[in-house]
Amino acid sequence: MEKVWLKRYPPNVPAEINPDEYRSLVEVFDRSCCQFGRRLAFVNMGYGMTYAELEQTSRAFAAWLQQDLGLEKGERVAIMLPNLLQYPVALFGALRAGLVVVNVNPLYTPRELEHQLKDSGAKAILILANFAHVLAEVIERTEIRTAIVTEIGDLLPYWKAKVVNLVVRHIKKGVPNYALPNAVGFKETLAGGARLTLRPVAVTGDDLAFLQYTGGTTGLSKGAMLTHRNLLANMRQIVAWVGSVIHEGEEIVITALPLYHIFCLTVNCLCFLHFGGLNVLITNPRDIPLFVREIRSWKFTVITGVNTLFSALVNHDKFAGLDFSSLRLTVGGGAAVQRTVAERWRAMTGVPILEGYGLTEAAPVICVNPVDIEDFTGSVGLPVPSTDVQLRDEDGREVPPGERGELCARGPQVMRGYWRRPEETARALRDGWLLTGDVATVDEQGFFRIVDRKKDLILVSGFNVYPNEVEAVAIGCEGVLEVACIGVPDERSGEAVKVFVVAKPGMEPTAEAILAHCRKHLTAYKLPRQIEFRDSLPKSNVGKILRRELR
């Protein structure tokens, strides 16, 4: 496909970027800590950490992982945290030690956590005490040798930490009892690491940086192998894209999406690390009144989010009263932004939402709307620099202009493959092209629009839900004979999970019983919001359930 979108690029956005400008993410980290040492890097719960403090603290953690724990370059370390100061310390500490980070959703059930830890072969995990009871159920069946446990207030000033941890543990009862005999306290690792010397590790762009898990056709998540070069490339692509409206050392970005999610990890954490920006970490963005109070004191310049977050904010009565005079950039991703939400956001803040498109497998950004748009376009924008995009038919041929086709992308941000899954890698990557499974159209200017999905992926508030996984859990409920799962439109979350159930003869399982069973094995956003009972399900001539007919 001819790169017609290059003609629509804003001024100063290059057609190509150099993905090898830096050798590794560690080099970018070192550069920013040196250049912006006195500037705040992350703030959480009213307390900030400068770039210099982040450098010192992450160095201590890296030295402890390397020397006390004895982890070697390339071994995996899991991080199971919400947005707290501990996250960037652990993230950059692990990368500086030459390790591979495995991001874990803190809300995972024991089944989900066990699979990810076993599949990745992680040797250590940093986990919030609130979720340690989940790890305790499965740790003996994994390769985890050391569990590092932290409490919410561990990196806050002494007395504030005492109060926060006391309230969470004893008043809010937020830390269920658990038994992890070999657990180590996070503060203990920092104290021990501060007495050690970090041995330099030669890390190159070809080395793995992350195993970023995403859903699979079997219902089990699989790890996208993202190298340092993949992340550096996507960082450089985004930096080139928004550079005309961003000022180094001056940005304040509201980080409400979880850092363990690839969108926030790349856009908020890595890109604004490069800019010397300040990330204001929101630990619980679902508490909208508290969220609004937390950001009220900041003259923030950037905010990222998903449609559900933007919708919740514009519908909160106190949000309109915030000071938006410094806001220059709003970026939406993870799921489609609804026109009504985008228009209300533009009217309220004076800034449009730049909607983009990407996948975990592309680190993640493939397309994004240009920074010079003034209104909602309804598209996912233009391909970013150094990215080729084609639309192909079922036979792999490029479709004529104006027709629908599967969006296929090629660029330095595309993953190496899936961890220990050569067959799935071969299905997703062909001749260097990533087959996204999303059906799109493109107009004469190069703006792409997602119009359908070839695969049965459900997007709930920007998080992937795979029907096979939900079905595999629901079928285990007593009295269920057959089950099919689809996504249905939902005003709040974009899509919601719906299951169709056929009961076993003579048995009558209830919706409540099925939901209670699912709740034991699935994270909250994967739970069915609708359950419909049927006498039978539509099937093909070989007995395959036809989800498309149900939709």
Q: Could you give the CA distance from residue 527 to residue 491 in angstroms, rounded to a whole number?
A: 17
The reported pLDDT for the residue numbered 469 is 86
| Cα distances (angstroms) measured from residue 88 to each of 124, 160, 187, 297, 315 | 17, 20, 15, 23, 31
pLDDT digit string, tens, across residues 26-82: 999 999 999 999 999 999 999 999 999 999 999 999 999 999 999 999 999 999 999
The reported pLDDT for the residue numbered 457 is 82
CA dihedral 434, 437, 440, 444 (to 10 degrees): 10
The reported pLDDT for the residue numbered 217 is 46
**Which helix (H) or strand (E) segment is 344 a member of?**
helix 339-349
Residue 220 contacts by C-beta under 8 Å, 6 or more apart in sequence? 115, 119, 469
pLDDT digit string, tens, across residues 131-180: 999 999 999 999 999 999 999 999 999 999 999 999 999 999 999 999 99
**CA 426 distance to own-chain centroid:** 24
Q: Where are the beta strands (DSSP E) in 129-265?
A: 146-150, 184-185, 208-214, 222-227, 252-255
The reported pLDDT for the residue numbered 544 is 65
The reported pLDDT for the residue numbered 546 is 82
Q: Could you give the CA distance from residue 31 to residue 74 in angstroms, rounded to a whole number?
A: 23
Q: Extract the tokens encoding 169.
A: 């543990």
The reported pLDDT for the residue numbered 492 is 86
Tokens 């159209």 found at: 441
**Top CATH class, 458-550:** alpha beta
Regarding pTM above 0.75, the answer is yes
Which fold is adopted by the domain 15-353?
Answer: Rossmann fold (3.40.50)
Contact (CB, 8 A) for 244 and 220: no
Contact (CB, 8 A) for 260 and 105: yes
Residue 170 is classified by DSSP as I
Q: Could you give the CA distance from residue 130 to residue 113 in angstroms, rounded to a whole number?
A: 15
Residue 506 contacts by C-beta under 8 Å, 6 or more apart in sequence? none
The reported pLDDT for the residue numbered 523 is 93
Contact (CB, 8 A) for 380 and 409: no
- Neighbour tally for 455: CB within 10 Å: 13
Residue 288 contacts by C-beta under 8 Å, 6 or more apart in sequence? 312, 313, 316
CA angle 84, 87, 93 (to 5 degrees): 150
Contact (CB, 8 A) for 449 and 403: no
**DSSP-assigned states of every residue in 216-240:** -TTSS-EEEEEEHHHHHHHHHHHHH
Tokens 């940005």 found at: 251
Angle between helices 307-314 and 339-349 (to 10 degrees): 50
Q: By three-state DSSP, how is residue 459 classified? A: strand
Cβ neighbourhood burial of 346 (10 Å; 0-12, 13-18, 19+)? middle
Q: Could you give the CA distance from residue 358 to residue 364 in angstroms, rounded to a whole number?
A: 5
Q: What are the domain boundaries of the chain?
A: 15-353, 458-550
What is the full per-residue pLDDT of the chain (551 aa) written as tens digits? 899 999 999 999 999 999 999 999 999 999 999 999 999 999 999 999 999 999 999 999 999 999 999 999 999 999 999 999 999 999 999 999 999 999 999 999 999 999 999 999 999 999 999 999 999 999 999 999 999 999 999 999 999 999 999 999 999 999 999 999 889 999 999 999 999 999 999 999 999 999 999 865 455 789 999 999 999 999 999 999 999 999 999 999 999 999 999 999 999 999 999 999 999 999 999 899 999 999 999 999 999 998 889 988 999 999 999 999 999 999 998 877 888 889 999 999 999 999 999 999 999 999 999 999 998 898 999 999 999 999 999 899 999 888 989 999 999 999 999 999 999 999 999 999 999 999 899 999 999 998 877 777 898 988 888 887 898 899 989 999 889 999 999 988 889 999 999 999 899 999 999 999 999 999 999 999 999 999 998 876 556 688 878 88
Q: Could you give the CA distance from residue 384 to residue 459 in angstroms, rounded to a whole number?
A: 23
Q: Could you give the CA distance from residue 520 to residue 527 in angstroms, rounded to a whole number?
A: 10
Q: Could you give the CA distance from residue 174 to residue 159 in angstroms, rounded to a whole number?
A: 19
